[in-house]
A and B are shown apart, each in its own frame.
Chain A
Amino acid sequence: MSTTVVEAAELEKSYLVDKSTVASWLLTTDHKRIAILYLGSITFFFFIGGIAAAAVRLNLLVPEGLIPSAETYNRLFTTHGVIMVWFFLVPAVPVSLGNFVVPLMLGARDLAFPKLNLISWYLFIIGGIIELYALFIGGVDTGWTFYPPMSTSFNQSHVVLAVIGVFVSGFSSIATGLNFIVTIHRLRAPGMTWYKMPIFLWSLYSTSVILVLATPVLAITLLLLGFERIFRIGVFDPAIGGDPILFQHMFWFYSHPAVYIMILPGFGVISEIIPVFCRRRLFGYKFVAWCSVSIAVISFFVWGHHMFVSGQSLYASVVFSLLSYAVAVPSAIKVFNWIGTMHKGFIRFDAPMLYALGFVGLFTIGGLTGLFVAALAADVHLTQTYFVVAHFHYVMVGGMVTAFFGGLHYWWPKITGRMYPEMWGRAAALIIFIGFNVTFAPQFLLGYLGMPRRYHSYPPDFQVLNVLSSAGATILAAGYLLPLGYLTWSLFRGERAPANPWGATGLEWQTPSPPPAKNFATTPVVTEPPYTFPPPELVQNRV
């Protein structure tokens, strides 16, 4: 790639003020602006999903259920699941933080396909509007898993619309994944070899591979579901010649890898934050990089662990259990490497680092409880109870959402050109950590005691733990509302951010905050491996 010099006048203007008409935002192909569009959209969906969650926790305060109608309750938890999974967790980090920093980290001017990037946002919004419309006219009560024959033959709610919403937004995932893969292959700055890429890029690369390979399977599954429901073509309902287990295989063939779509970018964010605030090179860089790739590969072969009691063959279950343990190994290795990075570091406690520490703790709990449900006989007792609910919230919320907040604080100065108020940032990180644990830790116990998930009412024996969990949810909600407040405030009042407030090493920090529309005045040239913090002569660990 040749070095291009952008005119000085053009350089001074940041991407934020480059042009300021509404159209210049809605028709932009600048990855940074698209990232902002996405950030706004996923924040909106996060709060919709959050309101549904709050209603669910409110209902469970009393054994008979505070919400009078079970049907309403069922619609609420379905809304929570559908919105959070497909309109927040799956896209969140890649489309917002990823979109913003991938080209910057690579030293590129934009993604490989800027127009495709914009189209992907529109697809996401169209899918989202369809989904919201489905909810608005009455919602869905199948659970986010849409299991037939209930969803196809025994349900009066707006299943087809909801499925179309997810279907459409899936194409936005595919577009984003494709864009990242091509960008990482083709647009790396001169000198940036694969092993000189920050781990965030390795993670997003692995994520993108899953997005591109798994999402089409979801699309087909949902399409067949729609056909069965509308035209009564027997695919899944045994009454018309279908097989309900087939649906479960197809659904989890997507939805298990989807778990890694959600968490891998989180791993990436954490692998950026920890070295910076420890002033240490990432421990075992190559291991961490290849762990992402191996997780992406193995994640395609473990879907059957969602089906240990569903009636699949015994031997299939045994194999899936073994492979599930296998996929846990690289995740465990990553945790050790993050801790190794802290060893002999110069650790600072800015908000991003607090989120990162919280992430390591919560994700470890989520991962360790995964060992329980991967052990076949233990899973028989624990599956479909609150134990599983707690387990995946530790991974998805304790892990992924915490990582998202960490990354948001970390790159906030770069994105907005303003610093967030540090004390508030730290307070929110702490409140979220506490609130999260109070909400979900009791659910492990509830699950062991046998409380089934998706219950509108429950035996009075379970009340104390449920009340505790709901109380925790209040703290958690406060923790999530805080950043909404102080980050918005900082947009207008925050201190102006320098180009590199954290003293980080990535290319994204070598351009002003906020970056100019064209990212770099001159195409940067990479000579050092990432995370070269101590002066090079002191660095002795070559991995």
Chain B
Amino acid sequence: MRLWLPAASSMSHEVDYLLIALTLIAGAVLALVFGLMLLFVFKYRAGSKVDRGALAKKTWRLESAWTAATLLVFFALFIWGANLYLRLSQPPADALTVYIVAKQWMWKAEHVGGQREINAVHVPVGRPVQLVMTSEDVIHDFAVPAFRVKHDVLPGRYDVLWFRADRPGTYDLFCTRFCGTDHAHMTGKIVVMEGPQYQQWLEQNGTSGTLVADGKVLFMRYGCNGCHGGHGTVRAPSLNGVYGSPVPLSDGTTVIADDRYLRDSILMPRSQVVASFAPVMPSFAGQISEEDLIKLIAYIKSLAPENHS
């Protein structure tokens, strides 16, 4: 039996502090409620002769006092939880990306170098890692209790979760969104390794092509370069340096091109049309598998800005 949970990520201690604070507050209130209840029940039991005296005249003072106290404590807890949550939800810019594809009932992970694994994710210690996750069927949920992180993995879109593992070791990965018969078997391991071992692991599991190299081949095969190659008859935006930069859209808004944007541009080009371009790009929804999509996106992300400035 284990009665404690390892705290293995940069956030886990912070979440634990919040939980400890919550436990202390809850404990204090509970002691108050049970204490008063027991006291009254004993002191004012029907048979007791204790002097009841005059009853309280006004209740509104007490009422406002405890309402105000409750509000104050609650507000503090809210701020604390929200602040931490916002940090927990925004991956740092230098995070290493690993792609996760969930399906009933397994986790597939793809590293930028082309390494692939099932029901396991190897990550380096001390470095922020962002998981770009999608599902091929139902909703799953990627949860690593030791890191205190968890996020749903939905079909048809990318969701991002990040952490920085601070202690080498092997930690449980659970699917925590009920996803059908073998939900309880949709588990895995997160292996956190020291830098050198991690490099070694990457080399040993390297395949013929990296995601970028594979993506480049696919970019030709799906005919993307016909328009985006710069030589075609159709005018299409250059994809060089698009990742991470602001893109002006035809409806006047601007979005930052992240993984989700690139995905949507390929599957639903009509939903966000780049300003001053005709909406002629065909939708590739249903034609490109999740795994190929990851490669294409990795390739687009690798394209450096044109003027090398």
Contacts and interface: CB of A to CB of B under 8 A. Distances in A.
Interface in A340-356: 340, 342-349
Contact of B71 (A145, A329, A339, A454): A329
Interface stretch (A147-155, A192-200, A422-430, A477-485): A147-155
Contact of B44 (A155, A346, A456): A346
B183 A455 contact: yes
Interface in A285-325: 287, 308-311, 314, 317-318, 321-322, 325
Given A311-B154, A371-B22, A375-B22, A449 B78 contact: no
A150 B84 contact: no
Contact of B88 (A147, A380, A385): A380
A502 interface: no
A379 B174 contact: no
B59 A284 contact: yes
Contacts of B70: 328-329, 332-333
Contacts of A456: 183-184
A402 to B, nearest CB: 14
Interface string B261-305: 000000000000000000000000000000000000000000000
B183 A454 contact: yes
A70 B184 contact: yes
B148 A376 contact: no
Contact of B1 (A283, A329, A357, A463): A463
Interface residues of B, number: 83
B63 interface: yes
A366 B36 CA distance: 18
Interface in A448-470: 448-450, 452-459, 461, 463-465
B141 A70 contact: no
A384 interface: yes
B165 interface: no
A409 B36 CA distance: 25
Contacts of B29: 364, 368
Given A344-B53, A368-B29, A375 B183 contact: no
B40 A345 contact: yes
Given A238-B155, A360-B33, A371-B22, A378 B53 contact: no
A381 B16 CA distance: 10
Contacts of A143: 178
B222 interface: no
A347 B40 contact: yes
B136 to A, nearest CB: 10
Interface in B154-199: 154-157, 159, 172, 174-185
A364 B30 contact: yes
B224 interface: no
Give me the 9 closest cross-chain CB pairs, A-B, nearest first.
A450-B145, A238-B156, A375-B81, A376-B85, A377-B84, A384-B176, A368-B26, A150-B138, A455-B184
13 contacts: A145-B178, A238-B155, A309-B141, A309-B150, A333-B66, A361-B33, A375-B82, A376-B82, A377-B82, A380-B149, A384-B143, A449-B3, A539-B55
